[in-house]
Amino acid sequence: MEVRMKKSLKPEDLAPTPLTVTIKAHIIRDFKEMEKNTKLSMDELVSKALLMFIATHSDFLGRTKS
């Protein structure tokens, strides 16, 4: 998965790192269905979803949209 962000990231910032979360069952079912219907792994799908969320909610990071 290619990461495109405005800030420069160090190689260690791009290293896969485990994360354990509790998510509603219907979301997990949807991700499993998406994984089955695409060539993307669960890790890739969840990472893409989180990157999209972060990109649209930069205010949560204390950044303002320009």
- 35 lies in some domain: yes
- 17 lies in some domain: no
Per-residue confidence at 8, pLDDT binned at 50, 70, 90? confident
- 12 lies in some domain: no
pLDDT at residue 63, rounded to an integer: 76
- 4 lies in some domain: no
Per-residue confidence at 64, pLDDT binned at 50, 70, 90? low
Task: List, for residues 10-61, the tens digit of each pLDDT value.
Answer: 999 999 999 999 999 999 999 999 999 999 999 999 999 999 999 999 899 8
Give the integer Cα–Cα distance in Å for 13 and 63.
Answer: 19
Q: What is the DSSP string of 15-65?
A: S---------HHHHHHHHHHHHHSS--HHHHHHHHHHHHHHH-GGGGT---
Q: How many domains does the chain have?
A: 1
